[in-house]
Amino acid sequence: MAYCLVPERQPHHVADVISRFDPRFWTINFPRPMMAAVTTGAPDALRVDCVFYRKDDLAGLIWEAEDRHDHPLLAYDTERDFRRCQLSFRWRSSGVRALDALHGPTLTIEGRDADGAPRSWFVRLWNHAQGTPEDALVTIDFAEVVGGFLLPGEADPVWAGDVDRMFLSLVAPDYDASDTMLDAPVEGWAELSDIRCTGAGSVIGIGDAVLPEHALRIASGYDDSYHLTPARLLRNVLHLGYRGAIVHYVGMSHYFRLDRDLKVTGGLNLPCRAWHRSFAEEAKALGQDVIWSLSYELFDAHCPEEWKQRRADGAPALTGWEPPSTLLSPANGAAMAYLQGIARAFTAIDEAAGLSPRFQVGEPWWWVTAEGQPCLYDAEAVAAFDPVPVATLHAPLSAAQRATLDAAGAMLAASTAALCAAVRADQPECETHLLTYLPTVLDQRAPEAKRMNMPLGWASPAFDVLQLEDYDWVTAGDAASTRDGVALAEARLGYPPERQDYLSGFVLRPSERAQWHEIDAAALTALSRGVRGVHVWALPQVMRDGFVHWGSLNREEDAVEAFDDVLFPLALGAEAEVTPEFSTAVVTGAGGRESRNASWAEARTRYDVGPGVRSEADIAALIDFYRAQRGPARAFRLRDPFDAAATGAVIGTGDGSNRRFALVKHYGAASRRITRPVAGTLAVTVDGAATQGFSLELLGVVVLDVAPAAGATVTASFAFDVPVRFAEDRLTVSRATFLAGAAPSVPLVEVREG
């Protein structure tokens, strides 16, 4: 398995061309709380669906000169000069301000004039249309296009030679500049069909790399992708090699309908329904399934107050996002009925698209504040199980407090069971999934939290598939917590690996893209456990950071390491000749001055074990071992006769959270990574105090049971072997060699690991 990050497309990457204004590559933007979506109904057509709540709500259908959204390998070329192309399309609309009206659909062109000064032009579509205000043919020649409302009196010639973006505006029929609420939400739509771009500038280049299918699947999220067309998203999925079911989080801030008070009400809003119907149909056409993911999280500003989980002091549960989201109480019947209706609406989309229904309950939990306060005290929860006060989960709990957490867990499990039952009432064959986020549910500071947030009511066979996620541990490099958390979840809930999925990721900020190394490694580890599927979380970050993964579909082949954990026959290697080597480029100038460039940070050692071969029995043992290792193909252990132990080596300094420390041996200012310690020889100290609270992972990684305090020095003493391989594809020895009293040459070379 392997990965890389591609920041931009290079000349050697595969490319193709598309027609400018290709319907797949338009985007949509709008202010909260309105909602809009753009979908593609045909290769030359797109549709915008909108719902307006205020009189100043405006949706912009956008074409950008620079592709800021696709994966770098798949982005279209930046082309800012539009003067050599003409755009035409058929316009049809309903429920939006008509073409001939004041504030009717307008093409805003943003860029720079011929002198390089930033400016915008406003092109009224009606001035370039033939037909009726709601059904017309629009033609725009960017070499001659003129802005302004009334022509020719208000003509404003456009210079389209340096454009950043252009967008078509859509507003409600009662639009004005105020933020007054409309009498009722207004749904509207506009369709652009028969889209044609002609002229010398009508074609632009686009990345068209296609990666081979690999073992990983993908996850996506509507809140991060609502502004793109489903066809554009799924093109990225296909070309980047992801196959199998797509986990799609429907989000917490864009799918819902709102009433006039801007509080959520039942069902999906029109744009959301249109977008997800298109997403399902496109996925079906590509042979991929969709796992709809619905969480208990909701955008706080639109959530009814009585639905919210609350702390003991009555404050609502609020996440750290800005603006914040809140968590729905599993005890609130109205809130749970709302979620059941949403889940049924999404699985109905599966049925309509011909997909096998799959539904995930995404990260359901009782919220816990940063101070450890559980949010168990909304009115419905108090009435249901009378929770006793729990000031913080970070302190030891009484029997009564533990009983309260058990009761809360039972309530949570009952709510998820009812949610799955509601889905299966419509779709009896629906595959159900549970996603749990291990770093929160199994927080070491709150060891009893699993009583309420990983309840025993979730134990198999409550769900068909258990899905585990742990990205905080992964991006921190804390593989030990992942290992322990997965083991605890398996033991507590009873889902074997073949009934588990794993979600690996994500990278929150572009500046943290180096975390993809740990994410890819965690995905490989999960595959080696034999889980059913591994999903990369999430597609928007994959596209943003240029993450590329490749690897074999044969999991057994991927898991093979070219190393056998066996020791070279000690008697044969006891008299080995040892040669440490570096790779240093030395350049001598005309005056005799040198410049030196060291290519390696550590020495690599070569050995010759020939001097240990003294008899025909030794020859036989050597040949047997050489054949077993297939010559240089498979590495093995060698005990270095001169350097095979370390005493009191500093392997790290505590930071209060990290528990994993790699073994090293120091040589002055230089250090050497030790990947093959000898079993039973390891001793560890933390700030000078010996500890038995550790385990040893593969490749010489010490995992402490408790993270050392910030500034604490961690040291280790151990014996070690060197990973080596035979240096050559042939081995030559003869009886005559020994009769002459000479030793053969049997070269070995150190192998880099870790």
φ/ψ (deg, to 5) at 195: -70, 125
> Whole-angstrom Cα distance, residue 320 to residue 326?
10
**Residue with structure tokens 């073949």?**
498
Q: Tell me: the pLDDT tens digits for 393-420?
A: 999 999 999 999 999 999 999 999 999 9
Is residue 99 situated within a structural domain?
yes
Q: Tell me: the pLDDT tens digits for 557-600?
A: 444 458 899 999 867 677 788 888 877 666 676 667 777 766 56
Maximum Cα interatomic distance, the chain, rounded to a whole number of Å: 110
Tell me the H-state helices in 430-470.
438-441, 450-453
Is residue 510 situated within a structural domain?
yes
| Residues 72 and 142 placed together within one structural domain of the fold | yes
Q: Among the listed ranges 94-103, 224-233, 451-460, 668-677, which one has the minimum average pLDDT value?
A: 668-677
Backbone torsion region of residue 27, taken as left when φ is above 0, otherwise alpha when ψ lies between -120 and 50, otherwise beta: beta
Q: What is the pLDDT of residue 479?
A: 84
Q: What is the mean pLDDT of residues 227-254?
A: 97
Instruction: Supply the DSSP string of 571-625, one letter for each residue.
Output: HHHTT-EEEEE--EEEEE-TTS-EEEEE--SS-EEEEE-GGG--SHHHHHHHHHH
The whole-angstrom distance between residue 249's C-alpha and the CA centroid of its chain comes to 12
| Residues 129 and 268 placed together within one structural domain of the fold | no
Of 13, 5, 26, nearest to 232 by C-alpha is: 26
Q: Look at residue 383 and tell me whether its pLDDT is greater than 90.
A: yes
Q: Tell me: the pLDDT tens digits for 500-518?
A: 999 998 899 999 999 999 9
Burial class of residue 607, CB neighbours in 10 A (0-12, 13-18, 19+): buried
Other Cβ atoms less than 10 A from the Cβ of 510: the count is 9
- The average confidence (pLDDT) of the chain is 93
| Residues 39 and 137 placed together within one structural domain of the fold | yes
Q: What is the mean pLDDT of residues 718-733?
A: 92
Q: Tell me: the pLDDT tens digits for 341-379?
A: 999 999 999 999 999 999 999 999 999 999 999 999 999
Is residue 212 situated within a structural domain?
no
> Whole-angstrom Cα distance, residue 540 to residue 425?
33
> Whole-angstrom Cα distance, residue 677 to residue 675?
6
Give every CB contact of residue 716 below 8 A, 6+ residues apart in sequence: 646, 648, 649, 651, 661, 663, 682, 683, 684, 685, 702
> Whole-angstrom Cα distance, residue 134 to residue 118?
33
Q: Tell me: the pLDDT tens digits for 25-39?
A: 999 999 999 999 999
Q: Tell me: the pLDDT tens digits for 48-65?
A: 999 999 999 999 999 999
Other Cβ atoms less than 10 A from the Cβ of 631: the count is 14
Residues forming a β-bridge with 594:
588
CA distances from 364 to 325, 329, 367, 485, 743 (A): 14, 10, 9, 17, 69
SS3 519: helix
Domain, as residue range, for 517: 217-559
Q: Look at residue 555 and tell me whether its pLDDT is greater than 70.
A: no
The answer to whether the peptide bond before residue 185 is cis (omega within 30 degrees of 0) is: no
Of 547, 220, 507, nearest to 362 by C-alpha is: 220
> Whole-angstrom Cα distance, residue 69 to residue 501?
28
Other Cβ atoms less than 10 A from the Cβ of 511: the count is 7
| Residues 43 and 18 placed together within one structural domain of the fold | yes
State the CATH number of the domain containing residue 519: 3.20.20.80
Spell out where 429-470 has E strands: 431-437, 465-469
Q: What is the pLDDT of residue 558?
A: 45
| Residues 483 and 582 placed together within one structural domain of the fold | no
φ/ψ (deg, to 5) at 250: -75, -10
Radius of gyration of the chain (CA): 32
The answer to whether the peptide bond before residue 461 is cis (omega within 30 degrees of 0) is: yes
Q: What is the pLDDT of residue 560?
A: 42
| Residues 415 and 486 placed together within one structural domain of the fold | yes
| Residues 620 and 692 placed together within one structural domain of the fold | no
Q: What is the three-state SS of 487-512?
A: HHHHHHHCCCHHHEEEEECCCCCHHH
CA distances from 13 to 28, 64, 133, 631 (A): 29, 22, 45, 37
Higher pLDDT, 559 or 263: 263
H/E element, 172: none
Q: Tell me: the pLDDT tens digits for 68-109?
A: 999 999 999 999 999 999 999 999 999 999 999 999 999 999
> Whole-angstrom Cα distance, residue 605 to residue 139?
73
Q: What is the pLDDT of residue 557?
A: 46
Q: Please state the pTM of the whole predicted model.
A: 0.84
Provide the domain count of the chain: 4
Burial class of residue 366, CB neighbours in 10 A (0-12, 13-18, 19+): buried
Domain end, chosen from 183, 207, 231, is at 207
pLDDT band at residue 290, thresholds of 50, 70 and 90?
Answer: very high
CA distances from 354 to 144, 230, 246, 309 (A): 47, 17, 15, 37
H/E element, 108: strand 106-112
Is residue 136 situated within a structural domain?
yes
> Whole-angstrom Cα distance, residue 105 to residue 169?
5
> Whole-angstrom Cα distance, residue 181 to residue 261?
9
pLDDT band at residue 615, thresholds of 50, 70 and 90?
Answer: confident
| Residues 685 and 539 placed together within one structural domain of the fold | no
| Residues 380 and 522 placed together within one structural domain of the fold | yes
Q: What is the mean pLDDT of residues 694-708?
A: 90
Domain end, chosen from 159, 189, 207, is at 207
> Whole-angstrom Cα distance, residue 622 to residue 77?
60
Q: What percent of the chain has pLDDT over 90?
A: 82
State the CATH number of the domain containing residue 103: 2.60.120
DSSP state of 100: T
Strand order through the sheet with 86-94: 35-42, 45-54, 181-198, 86-94, 135-141, 129-132
Give every CB contact of residue 297 below 8 A, 6+ residues apart in sequence: 252, 319, 325, 326, 327, 328, 363
Q: What is the mean pLDDT of residues 528-557?
A: 86
Q: What is the mean pLDDT of residues 213-223?
A: 96
pLDDT band at residue 754, thresholds of 50, 70 and 90?
Answer: low
| Residues 146 and 167 placed together within one structural domain of the fold | yes
| Residues 343 and 443 placed together within one structural domain of the fold | yes
Domain end, chosen from 540, 559, 578, is at 559
| Residues 236 and 337 placed together within one structural domain of the fold | yes
Residues forming a β-bridge with 671:
666
> Whole-angstrom Cα distance, residue 27 to residue 62?
5
Residues forming a β-bridge with 668:
none
